[in-house]
Structure 1
């Protein structure tokens, strides 16, 4: 009798232990428990910690309440400006109502993933390429609203949606690279033009200041000449006097032209070699002749030769025409006289 009682007690203890093990459940801190009794949803959500259910009657479903990171597969689409792109994204969401997440939808993860893909394709078709590349924040907000609207009825809250990458065709990449290069070149030209404008203004101010100080202008001219002469080149530098420029500014147009011609003749003139023959010219009414050294100035006109009596009409008043020589005597030397010899008066020269 005692043995049977002991066996019954042991069996009861084992049954209680098995029942306790079947009824005991542990819910973690980041989880919530939803109990279904005979297939019917029970009121109340089991919080974290130790809880019990009726074995073989109740069924406890644990729902993760943490934020879930789900990558959205890359989607091919055509933008509003007819450009083929490939866009992928990532979505962050969490369950805010465990009972709704289990009752309203079969698999809330799969449902959110499919909704994200369709919304992403819709966003691609409604946007331009420039918006996909530069205005992603606005697109992210629009995509979040499109996914969150149906997901809120599933007990799921969309926390954030981000577009990860936008892939373009190779031809479009080359076109965009050329466009970016042209834009950079345009900005560089604008910057250079602004720099030249500022430099010209500063130079104008400097010229205005130096115009009132001739010494500073002369010093600047000397500095420029020294800088040019320091370079190793074959450039011949002829400084132009500043005083002449000031004279030309104050002079009349006719006087300015004469001054410029005088300076040009002085620069281009060069001394004649010692072997040139002296030129003989008749000047005074007495018929005396003087010698003048010939120069190779290109601007000096040649004196006309008077070979006929009528040529004396071209001479200036008070001057005698050169005598007419009929023949050359045999005693006249063929070589030109030297510079040391004085010219002799011609006996047969008679005034006209």
Structure 2
């Protein structure tokens, strides 16, 4: 056979052989189709594909970090807010991820955006700010359930920022200031009540024995005398006069 004919054939065969050899890393899998039909999932490591007859789609099994773009939504108490989040997910079933959905990353991203708006729209602004852990769990549960048919496992959802306009920020600040004033007044009133109860108890104890009142009166005079004052005017209780007259 003429070398001019043989040499191109050898080059073609060598190219086909090289093209048929595939190497996958530890975190990669190949979804192999044979004549258009799903055949099997291959990898990791070295394997051979039959040229033309078999094709493969490479799938990364590592955890994917996906930013959910800022979403405009109305809270349950009619406050306009912007919320963004981050979703951590990974492919656990390469066959489902390729066959059951077109472009699983984009599909998961769109689903995360709609779920974020849907869940947070059912809660008040105070709950969005104070109960993020619960909201993260609710969103993750919904996403994980709906993406199960796509062979995807949603590990974590974290709400990053809840942005509100300046008017609402000032309103929240006024509300917080009013709450602090209310608590201060409640604490002050509680202190006055406790002081009044203590005075009533003291008066009851002093009234039980007239001598106790006299001792308390004399103690008060001693305290007044210790102050720097040239003149001291004080009333003399009738009980004291009567006790002196009795002696």
Question: Structure 1 stretch 105-114 or stretch 120-129: which is displaced more?
Answer: 120-129
- Indicate how the Cα distance of structure 1 residues 237 and 164 shifts in structure 2: closer, same or farther if over 3 A, else same: farther
The answer for the alignment partner of 1:63 in structure 2 is 59
Residue 213 of structure 1: CA displacement?
Answer: 7.2
- Paired with 1:58 and 1:179, the residues of 2 have a C-alpha distance of 67
SS of 2:226's equivalent in the other structure is helix
- 1:125 Cα deviation after fit: 2.9
Q: Name the CA shift for 1:237/1:87 in 2 (closer, same or farther; >3 Å).
A: farther
Alignment partners' CA distance in 1, 2:31 and 2:49? 11
Structure 1: distance between partners of 2:60 and 2:105: 11
2:218 is matched with which residue? Answer: 218
Q: What is the RMSD computed on CA atoms of the aligned residues?
A: 3.6
Structure-2-length-normalised TM-score: 0.80
Cα distance in 2 between the residues matched to 1:85 and 1:183: 23
1:37 aligns to what? 34
Alpha-carbon separation, structure 2, partners of 1:246 and 1:58: 116
- In the other structure, the counterpart of 2:157 is 161
Note the alpha carbon deviations across 1:222-247, whole angstroms, 9 max, x for none: 224434x37xxxx9642334xx3524
Q: Take 1:77 and 1:41, find their aligned partners in 2: how far apart are those partners?
A: 42
Q: 1:69–1:90: 8 Å Cα contact kept in structure 2?
A: yes
CA offset at residue 107 of structure 1? 0.7
Go from structure 1 to structure 2 and tell me whether the alpha carbon gap of 1:236 and 1:144 turns closer, same or farther (over 3 Å shift). farther
Please report how far the alpha carbon of residue 72 of structure 1 lies from its aligned counterpart in structure 2 after TM superposition.
Answer: 0.8
- Residue among 190, 193, 198 paired with 1:194: 190
From 239, 242, 247, the counterpart of 1:246: 239
Structure 1 length normalisation: TM-score?
0.58
Aligned residues: 240
Could you say if the C-alpha distance between residues 156 and 245 of structure 1 is closer, same or farther in structure 2, counting changes exceeding 3 Å?
Answer: farther
1:1-352 equivalent positions in 2, closer than 5 A? 18-43=15-40, 45-203=41-199, 208=205, 212=212, 214-215=214-215, 217-227=217-227, 229=228, 237-241=232-236, 244-247=237-240
3-state secondary structure, aligned to 2:62 = coil
* Residues 214 and 240, structure 2, Cα contact 8 Å, conserved in 1: no
Report the equivalent of 1:331: none
Q: Which runs of no fewer than 5 residues in structure 1 stay unpaired?
A: 251-352
Structure 1 contact 225–239 (Cα < 8 Å) conserved: no
Of structures 1 and 2, the one scoring higher in RCO (CA 8 A, sep 6+) is: 2
State the 1:214 CA deviation: 4.2
Structure 2, unmatched stretches of 5+, are none
Q: Of Structure 1 and Structure 2, which has the larger fraction of its residues in strand?
A: 2
Q: Match of 2:154, SS?
A: strand
Tell me the CA shift for residue 55 of structure 1. Answer: 2.9
CA distance in 2, matches of 1:249, 1:175: 66
